[in-house]
Structure 1
């Protein structure tokens, strides 16, 4: 009897030692990198089985046993997880408890329209298209901004998201970041600007974004538009005209477009357009609220990304002849308006 008991204790000790040894070893995997998917409400048993299904080559009961022993009161989080060679059972459990899911990124670019934003989200890898089939109005309502035009309301940046999360979450991040950036810019605004609200600053910033070919020109371009707003001069800026044409614009801005009235035609209408025309970045937001102190009322592209600024129409016309001779409608619009 004593020999049997001793043998039993030896077996138990060997099993315990073996189990302890297993917990210190890297998990064997079907490949250098495998992915596991843990559903909502998954138990430790389910998580263990999902790990084995995903390519962790061990007994699910053994992994479940370890999870139960080591997790204690901690809970695991659902999502998509990456398991790589060298990870031990403790590393996997820690990842599941922390919710260290597979993270992907999508970049929203300065100067994009909301249409381009939606197209980028639709193309993003493993981003669930919650907004597919929704109108722009429905999207804004889902984001808690019913009745707000979406254009320019999202901040251009690179956003991280968990694999198979929804696109509304990315839009919500971008919307909230723009709210914060715009609020901070408006608080830092220069005195006596001819802008009534942060929304007007956002509209102006979007125009500056579309007009700027070189970073350093932003404050000066904003200064031109601020000067025009102060004296009641029309902004006469081509990007607003193009935006107003929508899908009808074929890439060639004609003189007839400049005289065709739309709510966004700043050649035919005074003041700012009714909404932003694109997503401005931080630099354009700050330029709109802290414009350069300048006497310029005109600017024209030099062709190298920079702009030439002029205080008078005669000087501006000379600059147009110099930099855009032979430019057709573009040169004409630059002579008439605020920039090109």
Structure 2
């Protein structure tokens, strides 16, 4: 006779089989979730392919715009996990503008952590071969967030510049060409203040004393340095050229510096200064007006400034380019010697058919 299993006994048996199954299911889900969570947090999600990659998050950008900027770099492997982690870390409430370097192999947690902490990568700011104030604004704007127009507006603000001790004709001398580290989000005004600080650091007590011995202000040194820089690209010749102009100033002579004429005319393609150029009426035309021009004709570099502060002691009054086109100059004490040197150079120009 078959033995009957009561409903109560059957339920107990099913329950005893169900509990281990639930435990296994729970453990499976827990392990799966833990693994996925680990993947989201720690698995590398940045692949730069060993190339320097930066993301720029503009001032005022919101959460969506910030993440769009990150993804636009093209180095994010899993965008969904990045956004999940960003929400988990409250990045939507902690967006900070800046320039951030994305490192190869970063996980989402590390990447979002850097962004929300505002740990910017500094920009190396350099500016060389700057002739005009507008060019200075352009070069500065390449490295920082403020626009060329914003920077140029300050460079043209006479009232503001007076608070720094400059005006619109001398302000370029405040910028000492070097390599500086700044943050991309530096404002135009903060950038000006930084350059003013660097200017004051550059003008040490020793440099100030040398300028005083020459009877020149710091701005006048920079103005003369800009002429020296325009005259020669040879650093070893700069102190000699500076000595020539200092001799002329001491004698009360016209400087007669061709680069100032070119600057006053505004045509920087001129290779040969002619009489028509010399007649141009401008306070920068040192063939017409004695002394130094109102301000620098370019942004002089450190070697040019130091050449003026440490000029070669000599009796030369004249110089002109050598006829071998080496970039060096022939120097003379007398006008007769100078005319002979100039004649040879003009003959060389004519031979090469260089008219202007």
Match of 1:288 in 2: 308
Higher radius of gyration, 1 or 2: 2
Q: Alignment partner for residue 87 of structure 1, among 85, 106, 124?
A: 106
Aligned ranges 1:1-20 → 2 under 5 Å: 3=20, 4=22, 7-8=25-26, 11-20=29-38
User: 1:118 and 2:137 equivalent?
Assistant: yes
TM-score by length of 2: 0.70
Give the counterpart of 1:320 among 342, 349, 354.
Answer: 342
**Aligned residue number for residue 223 of structure 1:** 243
The answer to whether 1:212 aligns with 2:232 is yes
Q: Which moved more, 1:143-152 or 1:27-36?
A: 27-36
Structure 1 vs Structure 2 CA RMSD? 4.3
Q: Distance in 2 between matches of 1:161 and 1:198?
A: 25
- Per-residue deviation at 1:153? 3.4
The structural deviation recorded for 1:237 is 0.8
Question: Residues 185, 219 of structure 1: CA spacing in aligned structure 2 closer, same or farther, 3 A cutoff?
Answer: farther
Partner SS state of residue 210, structure 2: coil
Give the structure with the larger helix fraction: 2
Q: Aligned pair in 2 of structure 1 residues 142, 29: CA closer, same or farther (>3 Å)?
A: farther
* 1:306 and 2:328 are equivalent in the alignment: yes
Alignment of 1:155-194 (within 5 A): 155-157=176-178, 173-174=194-195, 176-183=197-204, 186-187=207-208, 189=210, 192-194=213-215
What is the aligned partner in structure 2 of residue 333 from structure 1?
none
Contact 1:114 1:152 in 2 (8 A): no
Q: 2:311 & 2:37 partners in 1: Cα distance?
A: 69
Query: How far apart are 1:326 and its partner, in Å?
Result: 5.9
Deviation at 1:258, TM superposition (A): 2.2
**Higher mean displacement: 77-86 or 228-237:** 77-86
CA contact (8 A) 1:81 1:102 kept: yes
Matching residue of 1:96: 115
Residue 336 of structure 1 is matched in structure 2 by none
TM-score norm. by structure 1 comes to 0.73
Is the contact made by 2:211 and 2:221 (CA closer than 8 Å) also made in structure 1?
A: no
Aligned residues: 322
The reply on whether 1:138 has 2:157 as its aligned counterpart is yes
Structure 2 unaligned segments of length 5 or more: list them.
Answer: 1-14, 351-356
How far the C-alpha of 1:138 sits from its partner, in A, is 2.9
Residue 131 of structure 1 deviates from its aligned partner by 2.5
- CA gap 1:135/1:15 in 2 versus in 1, 3 angstroms: closer
| CA separation of 1:259 and 1:17: change in aligned 2, threshold 3 A | closer
